[in-house]
Amino acid sequence: MLTFYRRLYPFKSIFHWLNHEHTPTKLFMNREFAFTLQGDVYLRYQSFTTADELKKQVCAMNPTRFEIGPMYTARPRDKKLARPGAFQPVMRELVFDIDMTDYDSIRTCCSDASICSRCWAFIAVAVKVLDQSIRNNFGYKYLLWVYSGRRGIHLWISDREAMELTDEQRKALVGWMTVIQGGKDQHKKVNLRLSLRQLPPSILDSLEVLVPAFTDIILDDQDCFRSEEGWRELLHLIPKNYVESLEDKWEKDYDRSSHSKWEDVKNEIKTKTQKGSQPRLTGTTAMEDIILQYTYPRIDAEVSKHRNHLLKAPFCVHPKTGRVCVPVDPSTIDDFNPERVPTVGQLLRELDQAKDTGDEHHSDWEKTSLKPYVEMLDKHALELMEEVRRVKRERGQGVHLIRRHGLHALTGRFSDTSW
């Protein structure tokens, strides 16, 4: 682990991404870091003035992982010095957490902690829907998706407006995003509309992604309704008047595929109702709701609601799997295979093999398969920093910045070898 932190972990990139500028600002200096040390000792309210300082401390403590919290009104390590009540979280990336365990009731391939490329498809759909919805509806641009190392994915949004959201506003946003509600003992978990009205516009948009996903994942791949348990669950969601005949049919045809069963439902509604009639509407509405219930992103709402929630830093190593929490490009999310994400052991081996090329170096990650992922974060941070610079320039502070950093600050080569 120590070698990983010392030689591979991209501290500089993380610093840029959190700080939004080259010179350390409050965004970094007042930021809380929390370390999980060996033996599950949890150390909160750490803070650092520079990336070097962070690296030094991480190497000294060698934590199994560390988490990132909000920027506070004062430096977290001076928390005890602050007046009571004056130590408050101010800014924080808007974060989302999607975890495979929330899908346990519908996935058939694995359960609990395990994950395979097949269940990753659920995550892929969630990423597509959320990414599209946040960009279109809320207008945020700087989204960083990070694989959580095992069976989930995190989203960090770094737009200034998103960072400044209050807890109340975060709660509203999460409310907007939450579609699936209700516990184990409630069959129907989607309640979006007043009687048979149209769906809200944002959900309507996401249906475009969800309908094909429903066919691919639920009907074909996961085959959710083949087992008796599966199709009985489905029947709970279908209007009462169709249930009996369907139940008869499926009880007799023991091994009927999910695909055929879904066709049965469709036919049943089509033959029994007139086009444009009220019962037909009831039927199609129910079908839409079923699609949503099986495919709409299930987010862990508590993570997003509060500014002071801590979330594991990108590029940490998941203690159970040994996989690195790497950034993920949402446009190629379908091709992402969590089983191919480099593990820390693999990276260290690669490093050994490359050793003959030179001395120990900070940016040794360039010699390993971590390279594309670090570059992804660098590119993201660079865009973010350019935006911040642009805003500053518009405010007339640009001159000051150029004078301090020279022109290269504007051309933005920060991942150069001087680090």
**Which pair of structure tokens corresponds to residue 188?**
């129907």
What does DSSP assign to residue 297? -
| Separation between Cα atoms, residue 141 and residue 134, nearest integer Å | 8
Q: Give CA–CA dist 244/312, Å, rounded.
A: 49
Q: Which of 3, 25, 62, 169 binds another protein (CB under 8 A)?
A: 169
- For another protein, the binding residue among 126, 144, 173, 347 (CB under 8 A) is 173
Q: What is the residue-wise DSSP string for 168-194?
A: HHHHHHHHHH--B---TT-S--B--SS
Per-residue DSSP letters for 100-139? GGGGTTT--S--TT---HHHHHHHHHHHHHHHHHIIIII-
Interaction of residue 160 with another protein, rule CB under 8 A: no
Give whichever of 113 and 172 is closer to another protein, judged by the CB atom. 172
By CB under 8 A, residue 211 contacts another protein: no
58, 115, 129, 165: residue in contact with another protein (rule CB under 8 A): 165
32 is an active site residue? yes
Q: How far is the CB of 162 from another protein (least distance, A)?
A: 9
Chain Cα centroid distance, residue 305 = 14
Determine, following the binding rule CB under 8 A, whether residue 204 of this chain makes contact with another protein: yes
Task: Kindly indicate which of the ranges 62-70, 78-86, 160-168, 264-272 contains the residues binding another protein, using the contact rule CB under 8 A.
Answer: 160-168
The least distance separating another protein from the CB of residue 203, rounded to whole angstroms, comes to 8
Helix, strand, coil % over all residues of the chain, rounded to 5: 55, 10, 35
Of the candidate spans 189-197, 209-217, 342-350, 404-412, the one that interacts with another protein by CB under 8 A turns out to be 189-197
Nearer to another protein, 195 or 357 (CB): 195
Q: Give the residue, chosen from 2, 60, 88, 161, that forms a contact with another protein under the rule CB under 8 A.
A: 161
Q: Is 172 in the site for another protein (CB under 8 A)?
A: yes
Catalytic position from the list 21, 93, 97, 288: 97
277 lies in the site for another protein, by CB under 8 A: no
Contact 289, 208 (CB under 8 A): no
Q: Assess 3 for contact with another protein (CB under 8 A).
A: no
Residue 31 phi, psi dihedral angles, 5° rounding: -90, 140
Report which DSSP code applies to 342.
P
The set of residues, in sequence order, having a beta carbon less than 8 Å from that of 195 and lying 6+ positions away, is none
Options 84-92, 137-145, 246-254, 354-362: segment touching another protein (CB under 8 A): 137-145
Question: Among the options 21, 67, 99, 159, which is catalytic?
Answer: 99
**Does the annotation count 99 as an active-site position?**
yes
The CA–CA distances, whole Å, from 361 to 5, 87, 342, 352, 372 equal: 12, 38, 20, 13, 18
Provide the edge-to-edge strand list for the sheet that holds 327-328. 94-99, 152-157, 143-147, 327-328
Q: Is 221 a catalytic residue?
A: no
404 near another protein, judged by CB under 8 A: no
Tell whether residue 113 is a contact of another protein (CB under 8 A): no
Cβ atoms 158, 331 nearer than 8 A: no
Q: How far is the CB of 200 from another protein (least distance, A)?
A: 4
Shorter beta-carbon distance to another protein: residue 272 or 305: 305
Query: Shortest approach of another protein to residue 148 CB, angstroms?
Result: 27
Question: Annotated catalytic sites, by residue?
Answer: 32, 97, 99
Q: Which chain residues interact with another protein by CB under 8 A?
A: 136-140, 161, 165, 168-169, 171-173, 175-176, 192-195, 197-204
